[in-house]
């Protein structure tokens, strides 16, 4: 069944909205990508509205890490997922989302990109004070 991003059938009070029209194509959503930590990176290109292309990242092994002290990006291998504020179960399942804290060769980093939408894992070093 299609995943719709239109308003729900029920109001907050529990009352029902009367359906004035059917679902529209532009209201269609997708299942979450759930980018995993694996040995080899896997990407998939999908068609989106306007016949544009979107690259979704299914699995990642490295991240583009920004070091604010050196003011430079470096590619670092991801060791493990340390924490994920989006969902605590994602740590156990090794799923990478925006805001996740990763343990890499360069130390702990926070993900700044949306891997399921952008097709890349960008991160910034967490500076300990």
* pLDDT tens over the chain, length 129 residues: 778 899 999 999 999 999 899 888 889 888 999 999 999 999 999 998 899 999 999 999 999 999 999 999 999 999 999 999 999 999 999 999 999 999 999 999 999 999 999 999 999 999 875
Structural domains in the chain, CATH included, are: 33-125 (3.10.290.70)
**C-alpha 58, offset from chain centre:** 10
pTM: 0.84
């Amino acid at each position: 069944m299609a995943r719709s991003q239109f308003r729900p059938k029920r109001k907050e009070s529990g009352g029902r909205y009367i359906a004035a029209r059917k679902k529209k194509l532009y209201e269609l959503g997708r299942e979450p990508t759930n980018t995993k930590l694996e040995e080899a990176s896997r990407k998939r290109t999908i068609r989106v509205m306007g016949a544009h292309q979107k690259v979704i990242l299914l699995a990642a092994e490295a991240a583009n890490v920004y070091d604010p002290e050196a003011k430079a990006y470096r590619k670092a291998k991801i060791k493990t997922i340390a924490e994920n504020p989006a969902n605590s179960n994602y740590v156990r399942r090794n799923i990478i989302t925006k805001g996740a804290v990763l343990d890499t060769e360069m130390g702990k980093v926070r993900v700044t990109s949306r891997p399921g939408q952008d097709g890349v894992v960008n991160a910034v070093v967490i500076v300990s004070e």
